[in-house]
Structure 1
Amino acid sequence: MRVTRLLLGATAVLALAGCGAGGETRSAPPMATGSLESLAAEVKCKPNMQTDADTIRQAICTNTDGKFILATFSTDRGQREWINDAKDYGGYYLVGRKWVAVGDDGTVEALRGTLGGDVEIGTNHSAHSGH
């Protein structure tokens, strides 16, 4: 299962990671809760399901803010393990109660304006690019 989480995290980050200019952090609304479908509806995206398992449900979403991965988890521990593994690949993570959205910094900040949550940033490997 750990390998699956690593692969899912790597796929999500590599598919969506981009360089961001950063920006102002605005205050967030109360943290959203609910199923993957209800969270997707709040941010006006139709989820394209990629994983539908007992422990994790994961979809690719696109809305006016950008493209992102939306995932929900059955346990807090499973969520934290997934995030910790995925953060090794860089990227921006909007973390809520048993859910996470992964995308570029602008998309994550825009989603935070609707869903609330806390932003976490993955490992920056740009200094190790070899260029």
Structure 2
Amino acid sequence: MVTEPEWRHVRRDGATALVLAGILFLTGCSSEPAEDGGGQGRPTPKPAATGTLEELAKKAGCDPNVQTDAAELRQANCKTSGRRYVLTTFATDRGQREWINEAKDYGGSYLVGRRWVAVGEPDVVAALRGRLGGTVETASPHHSGTSGGGGSEDGHSGHHTS
């Protein structure tokens, strides 16, 4: 019998639903892709910041309001220059990628670094990228309940067209 990683139990207990509800609240179900440079001759962004939730929040200019403090992930609501976003750190790379893949079913813009994600409106994510580095990923909402929404860590848009 194969045992599942501990973080999967958090998902079953509703933590993911709370995180995704926060994302929907902040993004307003926005499905517009974020600017990612798209080969327009822009310089390569600085490497993604690293650190704890509090360290990343400080670099972003945020006093974090921690909402989830679990072994698998920590999440805080942040506000910088009057704009709100969610900052989440992860215990593992795999946990982060699975969270992102599931969250993308709800659309939105994501700034992704090593074991952290910032979620907000496209302009907020773009501004945070200047402070934290990282890669922008975007996705359109999917209502089929399947994961695997688009986007990639190299900055390509996950905006789908039919």
TM band (smaller chain) = 0.7 to 0.9
Map of 2:83 onto structure 1: 66
List alignment gaps of at least 5 residues for structure 1: 126-131
Map of 2:59 onto structure 1: 42
Taking the aligned partners of 2:34 and 2:94, their CA distance within structure 1 comes to 29
Taking the aligned partners of 1:37 and 1:5, their CA distance within structure 2 comes to 20
Q: Residues 52, 117 of structure 1: CA spacing in aligned structure 2 closer, same or farther, 3 A cutoff?
A: same
Q: Deviations over 1:38-84 (max 9, x none)?
A: 00000111000000010100000001162100000000011011111
| Aligned counterparts, 1:1-131, within 5 A | 1-3=10-12, 4-18=14-28, 19=30, 23=35, 25=37, 27-64=44-81, 66-124=83-141
The two structures have a TM-score, normalised by structure 1, of 0.85
Instruction: Provide the aligned C-alpha RMSD in A.
Output: 2.1
Taking the aligned partners of 1:116 and 1:22, their CA distance within structure 2 comes to 15
Q: Deviations over 1:98-123 (max 9, x none)?
A: 00000000000110111111111122
Alignment check: 8 A CA contact 1:94 1:118 kept: yes
Which fold has the larger relative contact order, with Cα–Cα distance below 8 Å and residues 6 or more apart in sequence?
A: 1
Q: CA deviation at 1:30?
A: 1.6
Q: In percent, how many aligned pairs have the same letter? A: 52
Q: CA deviation at 1:21?
A: 8.2
Taking the aligned partners of 1:86 and 1:8, their CA distance within structure 2 comes to 11
State the SS of the aligned residue for 2:104. Answer: helix
Aligned residues: 126
Q: Residues 21, 92 of structure 1: CA spacing in aligned structure 2 closer, same or farther, 3 A cutoff?
A: closer
